[in-house]
Amino acid sequence: MTQASGFARLWAAIAAILALMLGVTVALTFGGGLGDSGGTAAAETEAVSVTLTEFAIEPGDLTVPSGVPLTFEVANEGATPHDFVIEGVAATSVLQSGESETLEVDALEPGTYEVICEEPGHEGAGMVGTLTVSEDGAADSGGEDGAEAPADEEMSAEEMAAMHDDLSAFPAETEGQGNQPMEPEIDDDGTKVFELTATHVEWETEPGEIREALAYNDQIPGPRIDVDEGDDVRLVLHNELEVPTALHLHGLVLPNAMDGVPGLTQDSVLPGESFDYELTVENSGSHMYHSHFDSANQVPSGLLGAFVVHGDDEPEVDHDIVMVLNDGPLGYTLNGKGFPATEPLVVDEGDTVRVRYMNEGLEVHPMHLHGMPQEVIARDGYPLDSPYIEDNILVGPGDRIDVIVEATEVGAWAWHCHILTHAEGPHGMFGMVTALIVE
C-alpha cells in the first residue's frame, strides 16, 4: 500500500465519523433518534404576558398548550409590591412597582392551576386567577384570537397632571360608614352592655369598589366603644358568620378567661353561638377589639374596632378622633375607606386635636401630616412622661399611638401614610390618604 492510499483511507474514515456525529447532532436537535430519519422540530416556548395591579392579575384566566415550555413575562404596574405564583409550580420574586421578571416554567400536564399574589392580604383582595393547560394545544394569553393583549398606551404629561390635579371627587360618597359611636345598654347593676354581631358584608371601600368583607354590626371598623376607667363592661359577641370566631380586647388588663384566645382561654365561638366577655376596666387609654380566630384573615377583612377608655388625666381637646389603619383584603384604608372616599377632618384655626392612631393591618404605616407637627403623648394606652414632637408617626401592627395637633395653619393639608406605595401612584392618590382642613 502506498503512502497516498493510506492517507486516502484515513481521511475517508475521518469523514465517515464526522458524518455520523453530524447525523446524531441533527437528530437530537430536531427531536429524532438515530433510527428516526424524519425527526420533528422541538416545541417552541409559549410566551405569556401578565400584569399585576391593585388588586388584580391580568388576564385573570389564562389558557396555554400542554407539552411546551412556558415563559411568563410578569410586570408590576401597580403601586405596591406584588408577586406572581403558580401554586405548586413556580413563582417570581416580589416585584416592586415598575419592575418586571421573566418566569420560565417547564411543560405542564393538562389541567387547571391556581395563580395568586402571595403578598399578605392580596389574595383575599382579589389577586387570584386560573391557568388552564389544554390538551388540544390551544392557547389564549388574553388577546383576540390568542394574540397578546396590547399594552396600555403611555399617558401624556397633561393626562397625568389632570389625574393628580382633579380632586373634585374628594371626599367621595360611598355606602357604609364605620367607627360610629355605640351607646351601651345599662343593666340594673350598672354594667355597660355592648352587643357586637359578626357578619359577612359587602363593603364599598371607594366609589364602585365593592369587597367581600367581615364586619361587626355592619360597620368597618366596628362601632367605637367609649367607657370610663373603673366601669363594669360586658361585650356580647354574636357569631352570624359561616366560620368560627372569637373576640380579643387588645391592650386591656383582663381576667384570663376573658382574653378571647381559642384553645388557650376559651373555645371558639361557632356559627350561631354567642359569648359574653365581662370585665372591670382597669387601664385607661386607646385600645382595640378584634377577632383572634384566623386573625390574619378575619382582622384585615374587617373584624376590628376601637375601644377607648377615658381616665381622669386626659388632656382637654376640641376634637378626639380615632384613625384605624388597615391593609389586606380591603386594600389600604383609613377607617375602612380608601382615598377619595376617606373622610377629611375639618377644624377651626386654633383648635386642639387628639388623634388616636390604631394599626389593625399587617404592615407598618408611618403617618405624616403636612404643615403642622404632631406631639406624641401616649403609646399603647399609656401616657408618656416626656411627650415629644415627631413628623412621621411610625405605627406598627397592633400599635396605638396618640398625638396632639395644634391647628395653627389655615389650609387643606395632606395627611397620609409615608410608605408612598400605600398612598400615591402614576394615576394620583389612593388608599391611605386624607386631609386636615383648617378653616
**What's the DSSP call for residue 266?**
B
94-142 pLDDT tens trace? 998 889 999 999 999 999 999 999 887 677 667 889 999 987 655 554 4
pTM of this prediction? 0.72
Q: Output the pLDDT for position 22.
A: 42
**What is residue 4's predicted lDDT score, i.e. its pLDDT?**
46
With beta carbons less than 8 A apart as the criterion, state whether 124 and 327 touch. Answer: no
Confidence band of 42 (pLDDT split at 50, 70, 90): very low
Q: Are 429 and 338 in contact (CB under 8 A)?
A: no
From the CB of residue 34, how many other CB atoms can be counted at a distance below 10 Å?
A: 10
Parallel/antiparallel/unpaired status of strands 304-310 and 225-228: parallel
Residue 77 binned pLDDT confidence (cut-offs 50, 70, 90): confident
What's the CA gap between 110 and 94, in Å, rounded?
A: 27
Largest Cα span, the chain: 127
305-345 confidence digits (pLDDT tens): 999 999 988 999 999 999 999 998 899 999 999 999 999 99
Q: What was the pLDDT predicted at 127?
A: 85
SS3 24: helix
The pLDDT value recorded for residue 150 is 42
How do strand 247-250 and strand 185-186 relate by DSSP bridges? unpaired
- Mean pLDDT, residues 187-211 taken together: 96
pLDDT single digits (tens) 164-178: 888 888 999 999 999
pLDDT in tens, 419-437: 998 998 888 899 999 999 9
pLDDT value at 289 more than 80: yes
Point out which residues pair with 133 in neighbouring strands.
64, 111
pLDDT at residue 197, as a whole number? 98
